[in-house]
Structure 1
């Protein structure tokens, strides 16, 4: 039964995402225009993939029986704060350092609001996931909340080329979904399924996750870690995401990927 739930989470998420992506072109221009952007290659893309991913992943979590609604909170909460940055954000401040610097000067950016929102979302999801656990503790939940917020941010840092953030999500979530019935398996499967449903348009360069979808994807991977591990595993995840976030302020991930043959081939695989 548990294996069926894990599979159901993936199938429902994939089907919902694919369906949402299929109908996006039928939406009124008054809606779709707000989500249009220009990608790295100078081509027009839609960020509507982001809401499609977040809603599909949440549906997958419900179908898979994710504990106490934690997956829904992670997907829709992180996605909602990402949407704020997608629709109302500006480029005057970039990165964690930029937003915190603006906040220190008394400027409240949408990015700063998102940082606080992701932290609150991560903590809420972690507390929900820990309900009923015999080894639960406030410290472990706090670490888990920070890990969820951290993975949400890292996924967003990778959403710079077609398919990159989706591939990273699948690679990170697959080991967690690989043991059907284990804690976190259904959550990870929902993240994978939603990625599969969104992948065709993303790889063709027609759509991208944006902050909405990337934050939701990363938050679900982080939540799957929280559901699977205790405070030690969560602390490792937090340390990795913190290191990557700090590194992103100094190093271009795109340059690192392009200079490594294996990473470059994986990054470009499947693109139109």
Structure 2
């Protein structure tokens, strides 16, 4: 895809996300999506489904093939849907006690299925479906190599792809603790993925995130789990589409390491103590 094509896809993603934000915000369900953020301001979670649909739709349109476009839709829309479920149901008092993956597993051992666990399983399934679609795509890197390998190695490659999609979705969601942080992370993650046959996937996600970033920074909206998971999942498809088994394994190792670190270390504290990251994190955010 040409540079002009990627710019058009990014613009479509931004326009779609902003339009959908207005539609969801003014819909009958709009008041039910209002929340109080960490500073006590009233914000709306309408940006979450708007970002999910905008990123998935524009990314699918910009994909270099039909299977890759279908993978983008599956990953983005499904991850956004289960993220929205967690945003709504997970806010209930009985759900708030389970924190992190370990907390969700502990609740399951007690016979309780948390909204967070539904989200984890849903994002994993979305990643698996997307990776299976990519495995049949001749435009995806490593496809020729996969054609000659046995079913076991093919299955491992699909699992690696699923891990990349789900891991990226989870990582972006882990960063969604301050206004604009997850959207900025999406822009940074997406920038290196804009080239190549499937660069339009990342362009759609980047455009949708950029379109909602001003409202996010101004604390008018919150993208929540719905938007963060979907943004990461679409970018994960873009990453999986341009990597073979070795690249996917390396990416998954990094994602798994960061996820494990998040259970022990506060990313917010690390960002606050690191020059450069701190200023980038605060850039454009309201201070009053």
TM more than 0.5: yes
Task: With the length of structure 2 as denominator, give the TM-score of the two structures.
Answer: 0.88
Counterparts of 1:120 and 1:191, CA distance in 2? 20
- Quick check: 1:6 aligned with 2:6? yes
CA shift, 1:14, in A, is 1.0
CA shift, 1:116, in A, is 1.1
The equivalent of 1:234 in structure 2 is: 248
Counterparts of 1:40 and 1:251, CA distance in 2? 19
C-alpha RMSD over aligned residues: 1.5
- Alignment counterpart, residue 45 of structure 2, candidates 47, 55, 77: 47
CA shift, 1:141, in A, is 1.1
Counterparts of 1:151 and 1:236, CA distance in 2? 13
Q: Which runs of 4+ in 1 moved over 6 A?
A: none
CA contact (8 A) 1:225 1:233 kept: no
Alignment deviations for residues 175-207 of structure 1 (CA, whole Å, 9 cap, x no partner): 110x2xx14311111110010111111010111
- Quick check: 1:146 aligned with 2:156? no
CA contact (8 A) 2:59 2:234 kept: no
The equivalent of 2:145 in structure 1 is: 135
CA contact (8 A) 1:35 1:48 kept: yes
Task: With the length of structure 1 as denominator, give the TM-score of the two structures.
Answer: 0.93
CA shift, 1:33, in A, is 1.9
Which blocks of at least 5 consecutive residues in structure 2 are unaligned?
A: 147-153
CA shift, 1:34, in A, is 1.6
Alignment deviations for residues 152-195 of structure 1 (CA, whole Å, 9 cap, x no partner): 11111111111100111110110110x2xx14311111110010
The equivalent of 1:86 in structure 2 is: 87
Counterparts of 1:92 and 1:34, CA distance in 2? 22
Counterparts of 1:165 and 1:12, CA distance in 2? 20
- Alignment counterpart, residue 234 of structure 2, candidates 211, 214, 220: 220
Provide closer, same or farther for how the CA distance between residues 26 and 115 of structure 1 changes in structure 2, counting only shifts above 3 A.
closer
Which blocks of at least 5 consecutive residues in structure 1 are unaligned?
A: none
